Each structure stands twice: as structure tokens, then as C-alpha cells.
Structure 1
Amino acid sequence: MAASKSKTSFAIKRLVNFFKIFLTNKRGVLGLAILVVSSTIAIIAPLIAPNDPVQATYVAGDFAAPIWLKWFSGEQGFTENLQLTNEPGFPTMTSVTNEWNFTSASENIGIAYEQNVGSPVSGPGSAEILFRRLAGYPLVGSVEAHLTSKKPLNFPYESPPKLFICDMSIQASGVENLQAVYVTLSIRLVENGTSYVFWHKKFTSSQNWTQPLISSYSRQMKNIFSPTDPTIDPARVVFSQPDQYVLDILVYFEDMNPDMDEKKVETAICIDDLNLKLYGTAYGILGTDHWGRDIWSQMVYGARISLFVGLFAAFIGVVIGLIVGLAAGYVGFIVDEILMRSTDILLVLPTLPLLLVLIAVLGPSLVNLIILIGFLGWMGFARVVRSQVLSLKERPFIEAAKAVGAGKFHIITKHVLPNVMSLVYVSLALSVPSAILMEAALSFLGLFDPTVISWGRMLHDAQAIEGGLDKWWWWLPPGLAIALVSVSFILLGYAIDEILNPKLRKRR
């Protein structure tokens, strides 16, 4: 027990002394500081970057610039995200009466709140525009109703948004009782009364909940504004000036079915998830990519992947190199020949082309990347360990261990391994940048795991998309991040080497 406590106390003292010496090394402290910052950002990624870096598309307009660029341009040419309401569904009756105006000249049309009926998107709760005619009453012909937003959307910018999307879920029931029902969604400028149609549909039968695509990028929307000009930008047409905008839904009931004359008729149009979203040309700390994904979120989550791949791949490579070097150096003879010739064969193979072939065959998953980079990065370290072991096994303390009957495994683990651990620490620190750069190179060439984002994949996307290289805020940050993290590990490696090598420390 006393011996165990003594060993523990000695190990703690050694560790404390190591850190004392380490803190006097400026390069080591700088490298550690960069690594701590990078690791902290990677760990708290969900807190500082709430957007999913891969799945969350169009958090703003595509190719949106960083929001801080507005400070240098006088806010000219930039718009930010806007939306009509923060609660697009109808969770309560007041969400219908307080936010929307209902008007109709016909006593046969009314509006109701359906508490138990709602779209699959937001769940129960919807606004129901109901046409009702009692039995014994004749056909009423064509009647209409309007549902208009009470609170207008204030658009204060001189420049148009990148795109707009109008969300709406709609359900039609009892339409067979009428000749047809027409629903038109439009937007109106409050100041001059100009109106633009966003969507129009004729219902001749009942239809379950659907979510029509109402986007300024859609072909249907462009056809509404100009059937002959596919390059027209509806966002530029509608939001060409600062103004206030209101949404209007026109529901047109045609009660002209002769088979239903003087019969009871009930036809309902249920509406849910109604909202208008404007996606700006400036967003967040680093803007957005070609799919409108947050580049800041990609940077933060990319730190996780790049560090994860670098550390684990380097660990695999160092462990394999250590085992091979120990076995080849100490056992020698035929074992040494087999292991070293195998090492030589792998050393002469071009690493990057070999990785390209293997990943293309096995698939570019994150696990495959780590394993392949690790298994193809141990050869140089194995040769270094072997040369050190060849020197160590001729030392007097090894001969003394043999003389008292110690076996090979005991000598390797208790005497040789502790004397090569300084090489392990240094090599591990210096191998991480190589693994990070290798992952970045493979991702840059398109061999990345499609389910995650890394700094290399960000560089790939920037150069693969037309106009991506013009957006320097897209490719410059991941490039700098790769360089900084690599430099941090190199500085740590040199600092550890300087501390663990007394001759080197004295000379410097």
C-alpha cells in the first residue's frame, strides 16, 4: 500500500513539474490556448449555433452576407429576415380573431374555429371558412369571403429580399355539394392598394390537408408574374419599395349545382399554418451558403468533426506504429524483416490516391475516414520507434533485466515502453495536423460523409458552386481554422519535445 501511494505521489509531482515547465514555454502556451478555444467551441456548439449545419436549409436567403457587412456599407443593398407572424398556426380562437379580419357580404358564409381539426404540421386548431345553406332554400349563386391579416408586415428596406415563402395548409370538405370552390392567396400593399396573386386553385372535390409550394423561387410563382420570362424575380417585383403588406385569402363559393337545389349544403375550407416569410440578403456572423444554411453553424460543428477525425486517426496511427516499432526493434530477426518490409511497401505507396480508391470502394462514412487515415499513417512513427528500441535494448539496464530472468513482454512493457513514451507524446501531437489536413483534402475532393459537416467539406462546397469563391466569408474561415488548429498541435508537439528532451531544452 505504501509503495502504491509513493508511486502515485511521484507521478503527481512529475505531472506538476511538467506543467510548470510547460507554462514557461511560449509556443506551447500559445498552441494550448488555440486548442482550448477550438475545443470549447466544438463542445458548446449546440448553445452558440442552434441551426443544424446540414439539414436546416434557408435560414436566410442563399449566399446571404454576414450581418456585420452592413456596418461597412451603410446598410445599402442588405435586407434581413422578416415574417408576418411568430405563431403561424391557430392554437386558440383568439389567434383567429385577433390577427385576422373576416369579411363577407353573404349571410351563408361564416368563420369558425375548429379546435380539433388541424394540419399535420402544427396539429389541432385551424380557421374554418364555412358555406352553409339550409334545406328548402334555393341556390344562392356565387358568393365570396375574405380573410385578411390585421397586422401588416412592415418592409423598411429599399432593396428586395432574396426570396419569400408563403406557408399555408389547406383542407376542403363538402365541395361536391357545390359546382366549385376557388381559393386565391394574394398580398396587398397598404399604401397604394396594389395586389399580387401568389397562389390560386379551383376545388371540385374534397381534399385532405395539403401544403402548396408558394415560393418566389418556384416555377409556378414565376409563371404567375410572367409566363414568358423564366428569369423574373417575384421578390424584386413585389417588394420593390418600403411599404406595409397584408395577406388576403379570397374564398369563392359557386352554389350552382342543380342537384343540390333546396337541399342542405355545408362546404368548409380549413386553413392553417398561414404565414409570410421574407429571407434576407444578410444573416448571422458568417452568412449562408448556396442552400441558405448558416455558415457559422457549419464552422462550429465542423470543428467537432475535424478535431474528432484528427485526434482519433492520429491515435490509431500512433498505437499501430508503437506496436510495430516495439515488436520489430526488440524481437528482431524474421519478425523485424517482415514488419519493416511491410512498412517499406506501404511507405512507397502514394497515400492520397490510395485513400481515394479505398474510400470510393468502402464509402465515405466518418468511421471509414478515421480508420483509413489512421491505418495509413503509422509507418514513419514505426521506423522511429524501432530505431529507438534498437538502441535501448543494448543498454545495461536491459541486460540486467535479462540477467534476472525477465521475459520479453516484461522488458518491453516495463523498461522499453516507458523510455519511448516521449516519442509517443510528440508524435501524437504532430500527427493530428496531418490527419486533419488529410480529412480536409478528401472532403475537398468530394469524399466526405454527407450526414456531417467538416471544414474540408465547406471548402469543397465553396469551390464546387458557381460564385462560391466570390463569397470570401464562406471559404476563408474554414481555411484559417484548419491552419490555426494544425499550428496549435505543431506548437504543442515542439513544446513537449523540448520539455521531454533535456538536451534540446538546454540548447534552446
Structure 2
Amino acid sequence: MKSARREKIKFQLRRFKSFMATLFKNKKAATGVFIIIFFTIMAVVGPMTTDSDPIKPGSTDYGELPKAASLCLPSWYRLFNPNLTETMDLSRDPKFEDPNLITWDAIETSKESIKVEYSDFGHDNPGSTKIVFTEPGKAKLKINFEYPFSKPIEQFKIWADFYLNATIEKEIEITEAKVSASVYFQKDGKHYPILVPPHGLTFQFRKGSEVGIGGWVVVHNFMDSFHLTVVNYYKQTYLEEPNNVIFSSPANMSLVVEVTYKADESVIDEIKDVTFYVDNFYAILYGETFGLLGTDQSQRDIYAQLVYGARWSLIIGLGTAAISVLIGLIVGLLAGFLGGAVDEVLMRFTDMLLVLPTLPLLLILIFVLGQSMINIILVLTLLGWMGFARTVRSMVLSLKERAFIESARAAGASTGHIILRHIVPNVMSLVYISLAMSVPSAIVSEASLSWLGLGPLDVMTWGRILFEFNRSGLRTAGAFAFWYWTVVPGICIAALSLSFILIGYAMDEILNPKLRERR
């Protein structure tokens, strides 16, 4: 028994190997398989090559700086126009999650007793940079970088969270002791302050104060080249916008966080354990270009959308096609072989679904069920199996009248045995072809629904990328004005659909006796 089963498995493997060899000899099939392999690699490996979120605005989690500005061009545009600026992310580990990662290029202290080290204490997550003052002094945390562009960037944004901790016997006046935090760019020996310029943020040795002991101070919107305080300071001091002053020409620069602890001799003994924490330090210089495919109107990385879209478009296409073909196979087998009332009921139900207007029904079902990936697959499946069911039924009606089926009945074989052992193997060629030909229909249907604004909202698909462009208000500029946003996902939809069509035609040539080549 076991040896017979083993021989049967070997025989099936030999048949499969022979079929695949024949399939790959067909140029259509080979081209289709190559395209599918390409998109499969994109779907599996692509998301690993980016840390950008394809759905959230800014391609980041809430509470993080957007990765780029809106409507950035692809970075490789700089090969043709070197005057374009590129987005520069200066923050290596903004949340200080990795204690082994060196966030600061240089640390300077005015006294050896002042220590700068990693701390498990943090604002939202464990991790921060801790500065310990045993006496008044100064500490500087530096990020060094080269600014390579000959013109100013579009905008800079720096975010930071600060926390002052100390043990005090009583509240101390700000004139007697304080801790000041300033953030500035350093270039050619000059300082360009960006945090409440020119003096920075002052912390008091008071509990319960907005900028005092024992509370995180979130500095998110102040260090921005468009912030009114920063703009006014540079216009009054330099008569120019901040970007034009700080980033006027190529230079080796530093972004510096400087923390200064000052205290009069009369109150030093009353202040102990002065510790200053820096967390969630984001620093991004926003340029005109970003990534491989730029960004959309919501500052999202289009490359991330494309590679994640490959994954979900494949899942929707294959999932919808597989379930539709399975339902159509079951209905066709039962209707064709059992006949009678079963055939009448199943076929009238199939006819009822066939005559319903597809688009209005799709709109109603999605509106009722909701715009999720699972619901999209269910709706497309519900309306995609009827044609295949009728085809299978026609084939089964012909098969069940043949001599080998009559012989099986005469030998006492049950209905289930005849269907599974004799009917199904003879319709499997049709299943393979229909499965390959159904995938393009599902992918294009999802893209069409997304274009209408009815696609899945919980995942990013190629169709949704096109919808985002459609609702951005940029359609009047023409699709080719943002071709990397519109043409690329459109080509992906067409290429992936074409690949399955080519494989379907190749299978039909191989498995259909009327089209099979003589050998």
C-alpha cells in the first residue's frame, strides 16, 4: 500500500516536472513567469528596503517628523539637475532605542565632572541622553554633517524633548540658578540659534512650573525655519530668511545642543543631583528631492507605497482568483453531475447574479460592508465565480456521459468518488487556465474601485496610489507632470496583469487538445 502510494507521488511529480518543462519552453509563459518573479521579489524584499510607512502622513508614526516635504522629486533627478537640494535626515537614533548606537558625533563638556551618558529613562519609550552636572558648567552634543548644496534647502525642522531633574530644598529664583538649553547650527565658527533665539529655553528650579523640574518639555514646533520667532530673529538680525542665512552655500556644519547649568555660590549647596535628559531628537533638512520616487501630497514615500502595493495587489489578485475558481468549480461540478433540482437551483442562482449590474452592486456592497482588504476580496469573489461555474457545468455534462464514468457507476463507485477521482482530474486543465486568467481581472477591478475611492483603506495598493493622485488636485497639471507617481503604478498594474494573461494563453496552448502542438 505504501509502495503504491509512493509510486503514485513519484508519478505525479514526474508529470508536474514534465508540465513545467513544457511550460517554460513556451515564450509567453517564460515571459509571464519572469514578470511574476520580479513582482514577487518586489513584494517580499521591497518593504525590507524602506522604513517608511506607506499609509500614514509623512510616512512616519504619530509624534515623529515627516520624512520629507510634500511633492518631492525622486533623488536621482539630481543627476540631471545638480542644483536640486536633497532631503537630509541628521538624526540617527532619535528615540535613543539602541544604547550601542552613537547618536552624537562629538560631546564636549566644560568640566571633567560633567558626565554625558546613555539612560534608560525616556519620554515615550526607554532611552535618552543624560547629562549629569555635579557642579555648574556646560555640555555640548554635536551632530556633524556636510551641507553640499549651493542653494538653501526648502525648510528645516528639529524636534526634541527635554527633562530637568534635581533635588532642591526650596524653590530657587531664576536669577540665582537656572539651566539653559539652546540648539543652533554652527558654520565657519559662527552660531545660528534656532531654539527661541538668541538665548534658548530656560529651565527653573521649581516644581510644577511649565519649564521646571520633573516634567518633559516637548519642543516640536519652535525649531522650524517657518516658525515666527525664528523668522523674526533672522530678519531683524540678518535681514534674510533663516534658510538663506544658515544654508547659503556648501560647508561643513554642526547641529549643536548646548546645555548650561548656572548657579550662584549662595544656592549651590541647596541644589543636588542636577540631571538633564534629551529624548526624541529629530533633525531633518527638507530638500526638493527624496527617495527613489519622491513623495505625494501627504509627504508619503511613493517608493514605499509601490513596494507595499505590490504585496497587497498580489494578495488581492491571487486570493480573489483562487476563491472564485474554487466556488465556481464546486458549483459547476455539483450542478453538472447531480442534475435535476440541484442543477436548476444552482444555475438559476448563478443566472440571477450574472444579470445583476456589476458596478452598482459593487458600490452598494462595499458601502455596506466597509472598505477593507478582506471585504474587497469577498465582494470581488462574490461577483467573479459565475462564468467559470457555467463553463465547468458544461464540461461535466459532457464528461458524465462517457464510457469510463458509466463503468465507474457499474462498478458501484459512489458519487463523491466519481467526482473526485474521475471528473475533477479531467477539468483541472480548465481550472489552471481560469485561475491564471482570473488574477488580472481581480487586480484591475481592485484598481478601478480604488480609483473611484472605494478601495481598501487599511492597506496601500497600486490602485490607491492612483486614487491619491486623483484627489490631490494635481490632475489639471497632467499625469505626466508627476509620471513617477502615476505612470509607474499604472505600468505595474498592466505588467502584472499581462504576466498572468500570458501564462493563461500558454497553458491553453499546452492543455487544450485543439491548440496543442503536434510533437
TM exceeds 0.5? Answer: yes
CA distance in 1, matches of 2:322, 2:345: 23
Matches within 5 A, 1:158-173: 158-173=150-165
1:178 paired with 2:179, answer no
**Structure 2 counterpart of 1:65:** 73
Give the one of 327, 336, 339 matched to 1:329: 336
Give the one of 474, 483, 502 matched to 1:472: 483
Contiguous gaps of at least 5 residues in structure 1: 133-144
Q: Which amino acid in structure 1 is aligned with residue 159 of structure 2? A: D
Matches within 5 A, 1:297-336: 297-336=304-343
SS at match of 1:442: helix
1:423 paired with 2:430, answer yes
Q: Deviation at 1:124?
A: 5.3
C-alpha spacing 1:450/1:129, structure 2 compared with 1 (3 Å): farther
Aligned 8 A contact 1:329 1:387 in 2: yes
Give the one of 393, 397, 409 matched to 1:402: 409
Aligned 8 A contact 1:31 1:492 in 2: yes
1:415-449 C-alpha deviation (Å, 9 max, x unpaired): 22222111111100000111111222223333344
Aligned 8 A contact 2:143 2:256 in 1: no
Aligned 8 A contact 2:130 2:275 in 1: no
Matches within 5 A, 1:465-504: 465-467=472-474, 469=479, 470-504=481-515
1:189-235 C-alpha deviation (Å, 9 max, x unpaired): 5238363433354545224223320476697x2454159x9xx9854
CA distance in 2, matches of 1:341, 1:381: 15
CA distance in 1, matches of 2:191, 2:267: 38
**Structure 1 counterpart of 2:63:** none
**Structure 1 counterpart of 2:442:** 435
CA distance in 2, matches of 1:388, 1:448: 35
**Structure 2 counterpart of 1:387:** 394
Aligned 8 A contact 1:65 1:282 in 2: yes
Q: Deviation at 1:252?
A: 7.6
**Structure 2 counterpart of 1:41:** 42
CA distance in 1, matches of 2:150, 2:254: 18
Q: Which amino acid in structure 1 is aligned with residue 276 of structure 2? A: C
CA distance in 2, matches of 1:262, 1:477: 65
C-alpha spacing 1:7/1:114, structure 2 compared with 1 (3 Å): closer
C-alpha spacing 1:405/1:116, structure 2 compared with 1 (3 Å): closer
Aligned 8 A contact 2:140 2:259 in 1: no
Matches within 5 A, 1:238-317: 238-247=246-255, 264-266=270-272, 268=274, 270-273=276-279, 274=281, 276-317=283-324
Q: Which amino acid in structure 2 is aligned with residue 71 of structure 1? A: L
1:347-389 C-alpha deviation (Å, 9 max, x unpaired): 1222233222222222222222222221221011111111112
Aligned 8 A contact 2:104 2:141 in 1: no
CA distance in 2, matches of 1:177, 1:319: 77
Q: Deviation at 1:292?
A: 3.5
Contiguous gaps of at least 5 residues in structure 2: 61-65
- TM-score, normalised to structure 1, is 0.82
Q: Deviation at 1:499?
A: 0.4
Q: Which amino acid in structure 1 is aligned with residue 278 of structure 2? A: D
C-alpha spacing 1:216/1:450, structure 2 compared with 1 (3 Å): farther
**Structure 1 counterpart of 2:367:** 360
CA distance in 2, matches of 1:448, 1:60: 26
Give the one of 125, 131, 140 matched to 1:127: 131
Q: Deviation at 1:152?
A: 4.5
Aligned 8 A contact 1:112 1:129 in 2: yes
Aligned 8 A contact 1:189 1:243 in 2: no
CA distance in 2, matches of 1:348, 1:165: 58
Q: Which amino acid in structure 1 is aligned with residue 508 of structure 2? A: D
1:132-160 C-alpha deviation (Å, 9 max, x unpaired): 6xxxxxxxxxxxx7654556443221233
The range that moved more, 392-401 or 486-495, is: 392-401
Q: Which amino acid in structure 1 is aligned with residue 84 of structure 2? A: G
C-alpha spacing 1:285/1:85, structure 2 compared with 1 (3 Å): closer
Q: Deviation at 1:251?
A: 6.2
1:375 paired with 2:375, answer no
Matches within 5 A, 1:188-267: 188-191=185-188, 193=190, 195-199=192-196, 200-201=200-201, 203=203, 205=209, 206-214=213-221, 221-226=227-232, 235=243, 238-247=246-255, 264-266=270-272
Q: Deviation at 1:243?
A: 3.6
Q: Which amino acid in structure 2 is aligned with residue 429 of structure 1? A: A
1:339 paired with 2:346, answer yes
Q: Which amino acid in structure 2 is aligned with residue 127 of structure 1? A: I
CA distance in 2, matches of 1:125, 1:490: 57
CA distance in 1, matches of 2:38, 2:254: 47
**Structure 1 counterpart of 2:418:** 411
Q: Deviation at 1:454?
A: 1.5
SS at match of 2:41: helix
Aligned 8 A contact 2:185 2:193 in 1: yes
SS at match of 2:194: strand
SS at match of 1:505: coil
SS at match of 1:277: strand
**Structure 1 counterpart of 2:31:** 30
C-alpha spacing 1:217/1:452, structure 2 compared with 1 (3 Å): farther
Aligned 8 A contact 1:326 1:412 in 2: yes
Q: Which amino acid in structure 1 is aligned with residue 68 of structure 2? A: A
CA distance in 1, matches of 2:16, 2:510: 12
1:17 paired with 2:21, answer no
C-alpha spacing 1:414/1:84, structure 2 compared with 1 (3 Å): closer
